[in-house]
Amino acid sequence: ARRARLAAGSGPGKTADGHPVRLLLNIGSAADLRPDAEGVGLFRTEFLFLDRKQAPSHEEQVSAYAEVFAGSGSVIVRTLDAGTDKPLPFLGLPREENPALGVRGLRVDRLLPDVLDTQLDAIAEAARRTGTEPWVMAPMVTTVAEAGAFARRARAKGIAKVGVMIEVPAAALRAHRLLQEVDFLSIGTNDLAQYTFAADRQHSALADILDPRQPALLELIAMCARAGQEAGKPVGVCGEAAGDPLLAPLLVGLGVTSLSMAPVCVPAVREALAGLTLAECRERARAALE
Ligand code: PEP
Ligand code: MG
């Protein structure tokens, strides 16, 4: 195990016995790219436009996306994740009493369908210009119908791989069915914890309830991973939990195929995985579920 750890200073993520786990980056722009990961697992496109009063033009979006696609051969782009909890001023969304439970993420499409069409066009154009094939996923998906409608929209624009984030318990419970509509799932444990435990993800007084080791959250992650294995499709984690070297092996033990994290977390997670066999990761997962 020690030799495996030493050899694990760079290169693809894997357990001590060679089980591959893709180690990916969470980024907000091309400036966050780093060479020591295997690609981008979460490109938070809303970060590009947080302070904007005017909607970004098609061309402006194309060049921002193309910069990321050119810098990393493998990118999962998330369509805009905005709402009154994460405001994008140019959307002009109405104020809400309960923004975390309101019109956010993919739900914005109900009010402003042009925004998603413009973004999907820009992603497809940036992909053509850079000769890359980005994967595209939607945030805050709740139902199979939403996933199916998103997948059809994205495929009609020429996007080859379409996925959805699992951030709402209702979506996790239907993971097997979602995977009949889409090519991959990415579990956002920050929001999935918030909505599973009915606890604001920023609330420091509720941190013990929000702990991603809570078995209820692990059960939902395990359901998604099992659904992915049965469908033969990738299921990753892109919430903060994926970048925690104590949690990463547990997530691998539950069956997820990739971990996407802040760039600074990659070396410690790579090393943690290299020190344990897949059987040991599974044992940790089993113990945590108990
Ligand atoms: C998440 O909810 O876990 C996630 C990755 O998305 P964000 O943190 O951007 O809401
Ligand atoms: Mg989220």
Residue 89 tokens read as 């001023």
String of b and e for 2-18 (b: at least 16 CB within 10 Å)? Answer: eebbeebeeeebbbbee
Mean pLDDT of 170-179: 98
Residue nearest to atom 10 of ligand 1 (CA): 191
Higher pLDDT, 247 or 83: 247
**Residue 8 confidence (pLDDT):** 57
Ligand 1 atom nearest the C-alpha of 189 is 3
Task: Return d(Cα 41, Cα 33) in angstroms, integer.
Answer: 11
- In this prediction, the answer to ipTM > 0.85 reads yes
DSSP code at position 211 = -
CB 175 within 8 Å of CB 231: no
User: Is residue 268 very low, low, confident or very high in pLDDT (cuts 50, 70, 90)?
Assistant: very high
What's the CA-to-centroid distance between 196 and ligand 1, angstroms? 14
DSSP code at position 110 = G
Mean pLDDT of 232-245: 98
Residue nearest to atom 8 of ligand 1 (CA): 190
Residue nearest to atom 6 of ligand 1 (CA): 188
pTM for this model (two decimals): 0.96
**Residue 36 confidence (pLDDT):** 86
| Matching residue, tokens 């780093």 | 34
What's the CA-to-centroid distance between 2 and ligand 2, angstroms? 36
Report phi then psi at 177, rounded to 5: -75, -35
Residue 251 tokens read as 């997530």
What residues does ligand 1 touch, defined as CB less than 6 Å away?
A: 42, 44, 81, 167, 188-191, 238-239
pLDDT in tens, 15-61: 999 999 999 999 999 999 998 899 999 999 999 999 889 999 999 99
Residues at Cβ < 5 Å from ligand 2 ion: 167, 188, 191
Task: Return d(Cα 211, Cα 41) in angstroms, integer.
Answer: 22
Residue nearest to atom 4 of ligand 1 (CA): 188
Mean pLDDT of 164-185: 98
Task: Report which residue type is found at 50.
Answer: L
Task: Return d(Cα 232, Cα 243) in angstroms, integer.
Answer: 24
Strands 22-27 and 40-44: parallel
3-state secondary structure of 226: helix
Task: Return d(Cα 160, Cα 154) in angstroms, integer.
Answer: 8
Ligand 1 atom nearest the C-alpha of 194 is 2
User: Is residue 73 very low, low, confident or very high in pLDDT (cuts 50, 70, 90)?
Assistant: confident
